[in-house]
Structure 1
Amino acid sequence: MTREKRRRIIHTRRTATGLTLAGAISFLAGMTDATGLALTGDFVSFMTGNTTRAALSLGDGNLRHATILLLAIVVFVLGNAAGIVLGYFADRRTFVVLSCVSIVLATASLMAGESLAIPRFYLVVASMGMVNAAVEQIEGLPIGLTYVTGALSRFGRGLGRWIVGDRRVDWTIQIVPWVGMLAGAIVGALLTQIAGAAALWLIAVFAMLVALATLLIPKRTQRRFNAAPRSATRMK
């Protein structure tokens, strides 16, 4: 076997592993988003929608709802930051991040009662922000896990470039998060209809199962799924 052929095989394996992981995490995000929306009426990962709804609430004079949504956006951003910080100090970044997501979701599932609805909402939002740090790229291509609008935009732009003559097809991987999100949202909606708020507990279990599955992925491969901080890149 030639060196070039071996490199292609390794590249294909890494890409397949990354896409499988990204699909599973997007499935998790879809379940969580559908359940969160069904339980609260607001999005837990779609911050574009929450921004628009906050603006509409402000326009209607509903300051309470607008404040809840604006704080949710802040919590989502902090969740993203927390995921990066956790991953920076972890030997197995994806496992640690997904394990923390599972713990946060499990904690949220224990918050029964109307008085705890808002804290539960913020915990779920934080978990969805955090999950984005699990996988940031696949073979150098950025990929979103909860931000499927961006993935669809990259897919559409890649399709446009292909139509005008660019025969690269790496853009096709961007459809994976959307498919995962759609499938997860369907399952999440069904789980919520059957189990209500207890669906969060089932989603937390799924998150932990995905986290444990990542232990089977070699560390060297996992490192390629995450963007290194610029300072660290320069030091190398």
Structure 2
Amino acid sequence: MTSTTSTTSTTSPVAAVKNPALGPFHDGREMALAALLAVLAGATGAAAWLYTSGWYVTFMTGNSERMVLEHLKGNHALGISAATAVAAFLFGVGTATLARLYLWRKARHGATIMATSASFVAWLCDVLLPDDGPQIGAIPVLCLAFGLGALNTSISRRGEVVMPLSYVTGTLVKIGQGASLHLAGVTRWAWVPHLSTYIGFLTGAAAGGIAFSVIGTQDSLLALWIIGALITLGAWRLDHPRFLVHDER
């Protein structure tokens, strides 16, 4: 009787072990999806930087410091602009999170649609609004910050983001730590998923920068929208219903 009760519980934990090279991803398909979305994040950052000649919408750490330090230097307008960028980014994160809960529970690529739509609105504002001052010129950039915040919610588990797409500082920390643990023989290949996302971000920044340099800064927002539309289509193809089931576990 003792031999029949101890044979069923020893094999199931082994089957549940996931390859460390997948990191927070369910499988290689989701890793490719994250890398593709990181391309859009990099291209969005490039568009904002070229449009404003130096305003980063991917660098919320720097914007948070600027919204304090610029006031100490007496540059109140710059401090306020940095604060509005942070606020727009947070608004994008919150809006996409609520939309995921109530509007597109069966489709994770909705955040990509939001980011692409935000770039389209940014282009429309750039075309239609009169260029009468820095306040008007800031509106397209705030649209991009909103879209980037939404995009960062794409890879989530139970409402918590597990792979930020534009938080490059954290990604580099994961790469460096994972590589060191690999060399020490503690955990193998844990740095691979973060490196794939980082390469995607660099690819987007490079491709966006080259495209925008060729067609001119004035059309960079339109080019971003076209890139976003293509990536949205790719994200829709890469997304899979089984991810939604796994996300809730």
* TM-score with structure 2 setting the length: 0.78
**Structure 1 pair 223–129 and aligned structure 2 pair: CA distance change class (3 A):** farther
Q: Is the 8 A contact 1:79 1:126 kept in 2?
A: yes
Equivalent runs, 1:67-216 vs 2, <5 Å: 67-89=80-102, 90-112=104-126, 113-115=130-132, 116-136=136-156, 142-193=162-213, 194-216=215-237
The aligned counterpart of 2:72 is 59
Residue 223 of structure 1: how far off its partner (Å)? 4.7
Q: Is the 8 A contact 2:153 2:161 kept in 1?
A: no
Q: Is the 8 A contact 2:119 2:143 kept in 1?
A: yes
The aligned counterpart of 1:219 is 241
Secondary structure of 1:93's aligned partner = coil
Residue 135 of structure 1: how far off its partner (Å)? 1.7
**Structure 1 pair 203–223 and aligned structure 2 pair: CA distance change class (3 A):** farther
Q: How far apart in 2 are the matches of 1:14 and 1:132?
A: 17
Q: Could you list the runs of 5+ residues in structure 1 that have no partner in the other structure?
A: none
**Structure 1 pair 191–215 and aligned structure 2 pair: CA distance change class (3 A):** closer
Secondary structure of 1:170's aligned partner = coil
Q: Is the 8 A contact 1:45 1:76 kept in 2?
A: no
User: Which structure carries more helix by proportion?
Assistant: 1
1:89-116 CA-partner distances (Å, limit 9, x unpaired):
2143322221121111101011225343
Q: Is the 8 A contact 2:107 2:241 kept in 1?
A: no
Residue 54 of structure 1: how far off its partner (Å)? 3.0
- For 2:131, the aligned partner's letter is E
RMSD: 2.9
Q: Is the 8 A contact 1:108 1:124 kept in 2?
A: yes
Q: Is the 8 A contact 1:94 1:211 kept in 2?
A: no
Residue 205 of structure 1: how far off its partner (Å)? 2.4
Q: Could you list the runs of 5+ residues in structure 2 that have no partner in the other structure?
A: 1-11
Larger Rg: 2
Q: Is the 8 A contact 2:40 2:201 kept in 1?
A: yes
Q: Is the 8 A contact 1:35 1:200 kept in 2?
A: yes
Do structure 1's residue 22 and structure 2's residue 34 form an aligned pair? yes
